[in-house]
Structure 1
């Protein structure tokens, strides 16, 4: 795979699991292309079906997948991961465009912890 430009639009999320005891989770989405390339959305306060419509640009160099993580921002203590999923990039590399809803799962739990809507665009 040659070097190229990957645009990722985080459109929205829905049905996210609520990790907070009081109130609702404050979710944000983190996109991880590799250990040196990651970006994240803004935090949406008390919203389990947030709308983001945020665009991110990555320079690709043969990466085969994009990891999508959904986190809950905590004011006290560390942020907690709601769930994650890995998207293979072969479809977007081949077609140049991929509009997808992905189900996120917690590390040791196969249950669905919500969904994230992404649009990926690739250009050389």
Structure 2
């Protein structure tokens, strides 16, 4: 069972799909390791190509994947899912460092591309 510390840097997103009828989406990123380990960035107002540069620390205790979701913050209605995907953590466990663009494909409309998210993952035991 893999144990250690995972540092995730959400660098930026690009080409996010707009889910708002008026104005542009206010995207934020939610990282889900398991139901007890969920962290989020701050929303970026009216921006489909936001820069975050936010870091998150997770204690790994056997988890093998990280769910990544990009949401549109809505003040009146429920937040809308822009897109999501899962990261298999085995590569970062073996290499210790990954700098990647994750394609957000799932979303609520099936497997269409919903934008991309730039992530840096670092792992230390």
TM range (shorter): over 0.9
Query: 1:107, CA displacement in angstroms?
Result: 4.0
8 A Cα contact 2:82 2:108, kept in partner? no
Over the aligned positions, Cα root-mean-square deviation in angstroms equals 0.8
Q: Within the alignment, does 1:102 sit opposite 2:91 as a pair?
A: no
Normalised to the residue count of structure 1, the TM-score between the two structures is 0.97
Query: 1:92, CA displacement in angstroms?
Result: 0.4
Count residues in correspondence: 124
Query: Counterpart of 1:47?
Result: 47
In 1, Cα distance between the equivalents of 2:40 and 2:61? Answer: 20
Query: 1:14, CA displacement in angstroms?
Result: 0.3
Query: Counterpart of 1:8?
Result: 8
8 A Cα contact 2:2 2:63, kept in partner? no
Kindly report structure 1 stretches of 4+ aligned residues shifted beyond 3 Å. Answer: none
Structure 1 unmatched runs, 5+: none
User: What are the residue-to-residue correspondences of 1:106-121 with 2, within 5 Å?
Assistant: 106-121=107-122
Structure (1/2) with the larger strand percentage: 1
In 2, Cα distance between the equivalents of 1:103 and 1:43? Answer: 19
In 2, Cα distance between the equivalents of 1:108 and 1:89? Answer: 26
Query: 1:2, CA displacement in angstroms?
Result: 3.0
Structure 2 unmatched runs, 5+: none
Query: 1:108, CA displacement in angstroms?
Result: 4.3
